[in-house]
Amino acid sequence: MKIKIAVLASGRGSNFTALIENSKKKSSLFQISLLISDKENAGVLETAKKENIPSYYINPKDFSDKKLYEKKMVEIIEEHNCDLVCLAGYMRILSPTFLESWGKDVLNIHPSLLPSFPGLNAQKQAIDYGVKFSGCTVHFVDEGMDTGLIIGQRVVPVLDSDDEKSLSERILKEEHILYTEAVNLYAQRKYIKR
């Protein structure tokens, strides 16, 4: 049986698209059952509609506090019987309220080789530091900032000629492969809990 995934995203959603495409492969161990976005005009909502994936725009400003907003999301995720939440460019930090009331796993993709360069503008941080390799990481979400257990990483070179844009593009191509690899590993429980 395929695991059912809810994706939370705020932007263009190229990782979301890659997950959808890969979920259609015979070998896939997951299906995308739900998309939630906190941005009304996010490209990711359009993609979900085209693909007939149930999608919701939930405006955090409609709630008097973050707890209520996050509880609403958990309610919808549970209604769709999801097994796993995947963050794919979701530009908010999930609070302990979300993690506790959801009670199951949450994965995130980050555009650096964690634990290097957590937080915003990871590709720029890598360029500014002068590292020769960077990449992307899929990890479990815990209460910290990009600190949870790592499931998988992919590495790219950082070229002398790179700027933030060219490095971001090279990393993004690997993200599109990595997220699917990591979710399939997750579905088989093939990761090492330390």
Catalytic residues: 110
**Backbone torsions φ then ψ of 35, nearest 5 degrees:** -125, 135
User: If binding means CB under 6 A, how many residues of this protein chain bind ligand GRF?
Assistant: 14
Rounded to a whole number of angstroms, the minimum distance from the CB of residue 1 to ligand GRF is 26
Asked whether position 22 contacts ligand GRF by CB under 6 A, the answer is no
* Window of 5-13, 30-38, 45-53, 58-66 that interacts with ligand GRF by CB under 6 A: 5-13
Nearer to ligand GRF, 40 or 189 (CB): 40
Instruction: Please compute, for residue 181, the number of CA atoms within 13 A of its CA located in the half-sphere on the CB side.
Output: 15
Nearest to 68 by CA among 39, 95, 33: 95
3-state secondary structure of 72: helix
Asked whether position 88 contacts ligand GRF by CB under 6 A, the answer is yes
Asked whether position 89 contacts ligand GRF by CB under 6 A, the answer is yes
Asked whether position 148 contacts ligand GRF by CB under 6 A, the answer is no
* DSSP secondary structure letters along 142-193: -SSSS-SPEEEEEEEE--TT--HHHHHHHHHHHHHHHHHHHHHHHHTT-S--
* Window of 68-76, 94-102, 105-113, 186-194 that interacts with ligand GRF by CB under 6 A: 105-113
Residues 6+ apart with CB under 8 A from 29: 2, 3, 183, 184, 187, 188
Rounded to a whole number of angstroms, the minimum distance from the CB of residue 113 to ligand GRF is 12
Rounded to a whole number of angstroms, the minimum distance from the CB of residue 190 to ligand GRF is 22
* Window of 12-20, 28-36, 46-54, 159-167 that interacts with ligand GRF by CB under 6 A: 12-20
3-state secondary structure of 90: coil
Binding positions for ligand GRF, rule: CB under 6 A: 9, 11-16, 88-89, 109-111, 172, 175
